[in-house]
Structure 1
């Protein structure tokens, strides 16, 4: 009798734990996007349209939606950001939506423990913030729900959510320049090499900021690292922005000479083009 009971318990346990590993109807996906020195990560599931009416049908208007399928969609930012004027502190949040035909309400929610849309346990008091966005129609059919990033700069990125013929865009903004100023100061104090000064100057030049300081960094880079075609090239660009075309031409000519010796054809062409442009500006 005892042996029969043990056998029954073993059989019952085997049934309870036996599962077939099968493809998911809504496969899991992760998208990560660098924005300057920061990163946004989104983990979600990708349901398919399968010929169904999506918004206003499969996803009812006016009711909370998990922005995907299965467990709630999670979004993580590794530094503080701004989303349509709302402060988004570093951390992980559940992302929900209340879709309507003409306007959606998006929710960044602090409680990430709910399964799915958390309809029964969802508490609006746990929202970090809500924001309103308008859906737009796209001229193509997106079969699987897709989250992606576009319009990416050092300081911002747009997160798009597209399914069937509808798209929502949410802009993220980060103060990369403040982060870079901290990084520049730290590296110059701890690791003051030629490349350190060059990279600091190049960042300022690319961002069109503080050209005088960038020029000082480039002089220091050349002092420590010697004549380098890309040091001289960036110096020429900074000098031109400061309106000193004569000095810019001299720097570009040095870059051109070294580039030609090293067979850096692209830099040869870029320097030639700039020299011609700046000579024209000098004559005008």
Structure 2
């Protein structure tokens, strides 16, 4: 056998031995992925969770005045499937790297459009590629957070807070979502394509829950009753809308219809709710 072929074989054996000898081992900063629905939107975050392990973290392991990847290992990624607003800044749907620039009194948080950097991209990071930065103040928490934590909180249909928590420090980033515009499009689409009793009921209930356009909500609920017949929750939501329109006589009538049905169905909770509302609206009607 020619020496060149023998050398090639030996080299391949050595390379395969090295590759095959690699093992999967537990990471000191394990990967995490979280996902949250906000109204009709979905937000997901991928990050790694380093631990304090007795070290000074904020102002130490994470120095003041220098870029931080908001976690460990690869850069932290945030993905949104609809446009959102962050402290008055519009953030189009997509995926962004999340970076922080900690200071004692104030942090800057960057939503970065270049998601190819590994880690904090310190040498390749270009501020011109930020979608924008916001300023937030750190807060001291009354407990010890061992592993870095990113969490959703203060969730409504239209807003939420993203909390970055580690050691004894918390950063809160406020987000707003225009769920109402999305819902108006969804209502129009469903009424056009799927005009069932349930479609009209859910459209009216949404407006009632959001405290918007009670006149239109009443139209939808009447249509739901027309198509779907007597249903205790149709009558109940209709009574709530009529009360918001100060038509307490109609509200009492609708609540009594709901009450009759729930008594037959032995739904005690709805019996109590209807009775309470009837009593309250009767007082208001007599004033």
TM score, norm. by length of structure 1: 0.98
The answer for the alignment partner of 2:68 in structure 1 is: 65
Map Cα deviations across residues 66-97 of structure 1 (whole Å, 9 max, x no partner): 00000000001100000001110000000000
Query: Aligned partners of 1:11, 1:226: CA distance in 2, in Å?
Result: 78
Query: Aligned partners of 2:135, 2:178: CA distance in 1, in Å?
Result: 23
Aligned match for 2:24, one of 21, 24, 33? 21
Shift of 1:108: 0.3
The answer for the alignment partner of 1:262 in structure 2 is: 265
Aligned match for 1:177, one of 139, 155, 180? 180
RMSD: 1.0
Query: Aligned partners of 1:19, 1:275: CA distance in 2, in Å?
Result: 72
Matched position secondary structure for 1:54:
coil
1:276 aligned to 2:279? yes
Query: Aligned partners of 1:110, 1:12: CA distance in 2, in Å?
Result: 38
1:135 aligned to 2:122? no
Aligned match for 2:54, one of 35, 51, 54? 51
Shift of 1:283: 2.1
TM score, norm. by length of structure 2: 0.97
Map Cα deviations across residues 90-122 of structure 1 (whole Å, 9 max, x no partner): 000000000011100000000000000000111
Runs of 4+ in 1 over 3 A off after TM superposition: 1-5
Shift of 1:14: 2.1
Matched position secondary structure for 1:132:
strand
Query: Aligned partners of 1:147, 1:4: CA distance in 2, in Å?
Result: 52
The answer for the alignment partner of 2:234 in structure 1 is: 231
Aligned match for 1:240, one of 239, 243, 253? 243
Query: Aligned partners of 2:38, 2:15: CA distance in 1, in Å?
Result: 52
Shift of 1:157: 0.4
The answer for the alignment partner of 1:119 in structure 2 is: 122
Unaligned runs of 5+ in 1: none
Query: Aligned partners of 1:130, 1:67: CA distance in 2, in Å?
Result: 14
Shift of 1:172: 0.7
Query: Aligned partners of 1:220, 1:63: CA distance in 2, in Å?
Result: 60
Query: Aligned partners of 1:141, 1:93: CA distance in 2, in Å?
Result: 29
Matched position secondary structure for 1:7:
helix
Shift of 1:7: 2.9
The answer for the alignment partner of 1:249 in structure 2 is: 252
The answer for the alignment partner of 1:199 in structure 2 is: 202
Map Cα deviations across residues 166-206 of structure 1 (whole Å, 9 max, x no partner): 00000110111111100000000000000000000000000
Query: Aligned partners of 1:3, 1:150: CA distance in 2, in Å?
Result: 64
Query: Aligned partners of 1:17, 1:180: CA distance in 2, in Å?
Result: 54
